[in-house]
Amino acid sequence: MRAAIDAATTARGPGTGGKVDALVTHTRDEFLKAMDDDLNTKDAVYRLQQLTEALADMAGVSSSEGRAIAGLYQQSGQILGLFSQEAFS
């Protein structure tokens, strides 16, 4: 996940035509649904892993898409206590 965060914070591509936005929205929704389900952290982390795997195959991420990706990792990481703030600098 750290490699995906690093790639997101340095992204400068032309954009993915909405693919990243849809992926981020879906992941956020599923992550929050898992957390609302009796704090199902196993499923919540699984959703982040799915995001990480999908991003590995995605090229051309723009800087605004990268900010959305990093924001999702940051938000979910704060909820789960996964990442330090330095990961997003």
Domains annotated on the chain, with CATH: 2-88 (1.20.120)
Which is more confident, 56 or 86? Answer: 56
CA pair distance 27, 41, nearest whole angstrom: 14
Q: Which tens digits make up the pLDDT trace of 65-88?
A: 999 999 999 999 999 988 777 777
Helices (H) and strands (E) in the chain, counts: 4, 0
What does pTM read for this prediction? 0.90
The DSSP secondary-structure symbol of 14 reads: S
Supply the pLDDT for residue 55.
97
Residues 11 and 1 sit within 8 Å (Cβ to Cβ): no
Confidence class for position 89, pLDDT limits 50, 70, 90: low
Place of tokens 């990243």: 20
